């Protein structure tokens, strides 16, 4: 009987290794040799999953996207649509060390994507996934009559840009997490009227 | 009599060469050999100005910062403070090929800065220079009674983050220049009341 290999489990292990190395050395500094040393796997075994350099980098980016998506899906819906949206935004800002590490990977990819169309496509996927989430949420706010902006699509784009700009400024240590969060929260509370107690029941 | 060397002129020439190479190959792809080939200078002559790799990269970043600053200083003040501010914001968004190239360099640096503290310091300088400009402008708006926001510092931070986030999304081709500009203009016009004809005279 052939040995049973849990490929999903192996992929997860490998993703964690690549992610740790990207955090330590930057995206440009991750090599097959380092992955092999850290994971204890042979180069051949790693190449089975990650045949070339671009595959390693995309793999790490997808891993981050899945982590964030998982946390978002795990958020408890409270019925307070404004509070729920703020909770979701907290998951995509580097306000603690875990989310900071994710943002570092994201930003390193963004930087490399400028001169690498393959990576740029991966970045595009990451942007569009979050963009669709935001667009859907803002259309919902409009339907509920809670949006204080003439164009939901424009408002969603504004918040996504605000989040990504603050991501950059936080990672460069130019603003504090408190200041970044205050900026987001102030703007979102201007944009979205909270449900009244009557509307919530 | 010794040969007279115009060091400023040489620095400018070198900066243009480095900038062109960064645009073509990305920040990580610029080597001393390439600079030598492109400029026709010897490695020794280049090393006199740029003794190591980090110096090359910082040099390119400073060159971009100077270009942007020069354009900003050259803007005509019309007395329409809102219009003047919108003109200034247009200079830091990649809405045409020249500003797009500048933003590409900026974003490549941001990406590398994550794992390179020396570059991160240079980035910090670039952030703080623009941050001071924005803070000053928003305090002026407050004094004129034109700011529609409880905290000028927070509002300035919001606009800077919005600009940088849109920069990222434009460079990754996720939004159009028109959509980016509409997002900025809508938000700025919400934040800042225009002067009336009476107030302008």
Q: What is the pLDDT of residues A73-88, one digit of tens each?
A: 888 888 888 999 999 9
B157 to A172: CB separation less than 8 angstroms, yes or no: no
Instruction: Work out the average pLDDT over B58-63.
Output: 78
* CA distances for B96 relative to B171, B185, B186, angstroms: 11, 17, 20
Rounded to a whole number of angstroms, the distance from the CA of A100 to the nearest CA of chain B is 11
Nearest CA in chain B to A171: B114
Domain contains B186: yes
Closest chain A CA to residue B131: A174
pLDDT number for residue A124: 78
The pLDDT of A159-181, averaged and rounded, is: 95
Query: Does A23 map to a domain?
Result: yes
DSSP B147: B
Give the mutation candidate from B29, B105, B111 for the A interface (greatest A CB count, under 10 A): B111
Q: Is the pLDDT of residue B158 over 90?
A: yes
Report the chain B residue with the minimal C-alpha distance to residue A116.
Answer: B26
Q: Do B161 and A157 touch (CB under 8 A)?
A: no
How far is Cα A70 from Cα A166, in angstroms, rounded to an integer? 22
Checking if the pLDDT of A3 tops 70, the result is no
Which of A168, A171, A178 should we substitute to test contact with B (largest number of B Cβ atoms within 10 Å)?
A168
- Rounded to whole angstroms, the Cα distance separating A112 from B95 reads 21
CA distance A88 to chain B (A): 18
As a whole number, the mean pLDDT across chain A is: 86
Q: Average pLDDT in the B181-197 region?
A: 91
**Bridge partners for A192 per DSSP:** A147
- Residues in contact with A69: Cβ distance below 8 Å, sequence separation at least 6, in sequence order: A129
Domain annotation covers residue B129: yes
Output phi, psi for B2, to 5 deg.
Answer: -70, 155
Segments forming the whole domain that contains residue B164:
7-200
- Cβ atoms A84, A75 nearer than 8 A: yes
Quote the minimal CA–CA distance from A119 to chain B in Å.
10
pLDDT at A201: 61
- Integer Cα distance of B115 and A26 in angstroms: 5
pLDDT digits (tens, 9 = 90+) for A44-60: 999 888 888 777 777 77
Widest Cα–Cα separation across chain A: 65
Q: Which residue has the tokens 């991966």?
A: A122
Does any domain span residue B1? no
Q: How much is the pLDDT for B67? A: 83
Residues of A in contact with B164 (CB under 8 A): 164-165, 168-169
> Residues of B with CB below 8 A from A128's CB?
174
Cβ of A124 within 8 Å of Cβ of B172? The answer is yes
CA A52 to centroid of chain Cα atoms = 24
The dihedral sign for the CA sequence A99, A105, A108, A110: negative
The least confident of A27-36, A87-96, A188-197 is A27-36
Q: Could you tell me which residues come within 8 angstroms of residue B133 by beta carbon, excluding any fewer than 6 positions away?
A: B72, B88
Which of A161, A165, A172 is the closest to B113 by Cβ?
A172
The verdict on residue B113 lying in a domain is yes
Of A55-59, A77-81, A162-166, B64-68, the poorest mean pLDDT is in A55-59
Q: pLDDT band for B145, please (50, 70, 90 cuts).
A: very high
CATH number reported for the structural domain that contains residue A97 in this entry: 1.10.357.10
Is B192 inside a domain boundary?
yes
pLDDT at B119 over 80: no
Domain count, chain A: 1
Residue A1 lies in a domain: no
pLDDT per position as a tens digit, B24-35:
877 667 888 999
CB nearest to B154's CB, from A163, A174, A182? A182
Whether the CB-CB separation of A170 and A180 falls below 8 Å is answered with yes
Nearest CA in chain A to B158: A183
- A19: its two tokens: 């992610």
Determine whether the interchain pair A168/B29 forms a contact, defined as Cβ–Cβ distance below 8 Å.
Answer: no
DSSP state of B145: T
ipTM of the complex: 0.85
**What is the per-residue DSSP string for chain A?**
-PPP--HHHHHHHHHHHHHHHHHHH-GGG--HHHHHHHH---HHHHHHH--SHHHHHHHHHHHHHHHHHHHHHTSPP-S-HHHHHHHHHHTTS--SHHHHHHHHHHHHHHHHHTT-HHHHHHHHHHHHHHHHHHHHHHHHHHHTT-B-SS-HHHHHHHHHHHHHHHHHHHHTTSS-HHHHHHHHHHHHHHHBPPPPHHHH-
Phi then psi for B194, rounded to 5 degrees?
Answer: -70, 150
Does B2 reside within a domain?
no
């Amino acid at each position: 009987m052939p040995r049973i290999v849990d490929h999903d489990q192996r992929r997860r292990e490998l993703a964690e290794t690549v992610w740790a190395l990207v955090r330590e050395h930057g995206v440009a500094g991750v090599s097959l040799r380092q992955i092999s040393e850290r994971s204890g796997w042979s180069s051949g075994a790693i190449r089975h999953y990650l045949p070339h350099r671009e595959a390693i980098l995309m793999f790490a980016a997808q891993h981050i996207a899945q982590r964030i998506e998982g946390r978002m899906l795990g958020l408890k819906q409270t019925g307070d649509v404004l509070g729920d949206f703020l909770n979701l935004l907290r998951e995509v800002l580097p306000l603690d060390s875990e989310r900071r590490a994710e943002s570092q990977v994201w930003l390193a990819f963004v930087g490399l994507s400028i001169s690498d169309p393959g990576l740029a496509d991966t970045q595009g996927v990451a942007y569009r996934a979050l963009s669709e989430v935001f667009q859907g949420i803002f259309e919902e706010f409009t339907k509920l009559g809670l949006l204080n902006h003439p164009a939901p699509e424009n408002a969603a784009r504004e918040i996504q840009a605000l989040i990504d700009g603050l991501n950059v400024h936080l990672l460069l240590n130019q603003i504090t997490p408190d200041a970044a969060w205050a900026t987001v929260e102030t703007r979102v509370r201007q944009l979205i009227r909270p449900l009244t107690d009557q509307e919530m029941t």
